[in-house]
Amino acid sequence: MFDRENKYLLSSNTIKIINLFLFGIASAMLFLAFSFGIEAVNQKRGVRKGKIEPKLILNQKKSDLPSVKKPVVVIKNAATNEKVITPRTVRTPVVKKQYVPAIKNCSLVTNIRPSIINLNLYKNGVTQVKEPINYFRVYGRDVNTIKRQIWSCGPNRYINKSHVYAISQSRLAMDYNLEKQGGACTPNNVRIVVKTKITMPIWSADGYTSQSIKNSMTRFINGLKVHENGHGQIDLQYANILYNRLNKISASDCDQVRSQIKATYQNTIRELGNVQHNYEIRTRYGARQGGWL
């Protein structure tokens, strides 16, 4: 006899078994998919064989990453039975370029001539007046830049010469009285004043200037001062020569004395110019005294 209820029960058990079998297959597939997904994520993040590498940021180069020290590896040489140790290599850090400010412009020199002499302020004899040094500021971290600024802002603008580093200008004034005694006319109360003014560059180093340039500029500035002071000493020397020559003039006619004084003054000034020129040649315009770049 065929039992419908028992058949129904057998069919229900079969369905349950099939469902359990399908559930097991689905679980296994989900586990495999999850395992492969984790491996893919780890590989994307750089997890390989237990070693974690830094993750790159967007638009970042690998060279910009912090340095990574490699482990020391000890290898045994089979031929010599010696151990060879490979050193750890460290990636060189990226060095950023240092900001260096631009060179400033030089300041133009003005008024290189000494001021007008007021003879009433000085006593008889020879007097030398040294005005304060007329500095013009220049900048630069190398010789060529400093030279260009000196020639651009220095005394070249006032004289018909080029490539002049510094200059010494003098102004000479004299006064006298004529006195006639015993039939002779002579100059009396002779008063000569020579006023000197030096114009030269001033320079100071910044934090980006090399020590060699600092040493060169110290020698250069000191040499210029020595050279230009030498011009002033020659001016004073010939002011004394003129004073002695004037005191020796004597004639019966005072007009003749005036003419002799004028001629003596012109001759002395001419000699002074020649001596100053020879001084420049002898010192090579100050180069032999350290005033060169």
Mean pLDDT in residue range 74-97? 63
What residues contact 87, with CB distance under 8 A and at least 6 apart? 72
Cα(195)–Cα(117) distance, integer angstroms: 7
Alpha helices in the chain (DSSP H): 4-45, 143-153, 211-247, 254-283
Q: Which residues of 254-263 are buried (b: 16+ CB within 10 A; e: fewer)?
A: eeebbebbee
What residues contact 118, with CB distance under 8 A and at least 6 apart? none
User: What pLDDT does 83 receive?
Assistant: 62
User: What pLDDT does 27 receive?
Assistant: 75
User: What pLDDT does 187 receive?
Assistant: 96
Cα(186)–Cα(250) distance, integer angstroms: 5
- Reduced 3-state DSSP string for 159-202: CCCCCCCCEEEEEEEEEEEEEEECCEEEEEEEEEEEEEEEEEEE
Q: Average pLDDT over the chain, rounded to whole?
A: 83
User: What pLDDT does 45 receive?
Assistant: 57
pLDDT tens track for 107-136: 999 889 999 999 999 999 999 999 999 999
Rounded to the nearest 10 degrees, the angle between the axes of helix 211-247 and helix 254-283 is 160
Q: Which residues of 68-100 are buried (b: 16+ CB within 10 A; e: fewer)?
A: eeeeeeeeeeeeeeeeeeeeeeeeeeeeeeeee
Least confident of 90-94, 168-172, 261-265: 90-94
Confidence of residue 88 (pLDDT cuts 50, 70, 90): low
| DSSP category for residue 251 | B
User: What pLDDT does 2 receive?
Assistant: 40
Mean pLDDT in residue range 253-273? 97
Cα(232)–Cα(227) distance, integer angstroms: 9
pLDDT of 64 higher than 90: no
pLDDT tens track for 8-47: 444 666 777 777 777 778 777 777 766 666 666 566 555 4
Specify which residues 74 forms β-bridges with.
85
User: What pLDDT does 256 receive?
Assistant: 96
pLDDT tens track for 195-228: 999 999 999 889 899 999 999 999 999 999 999 9
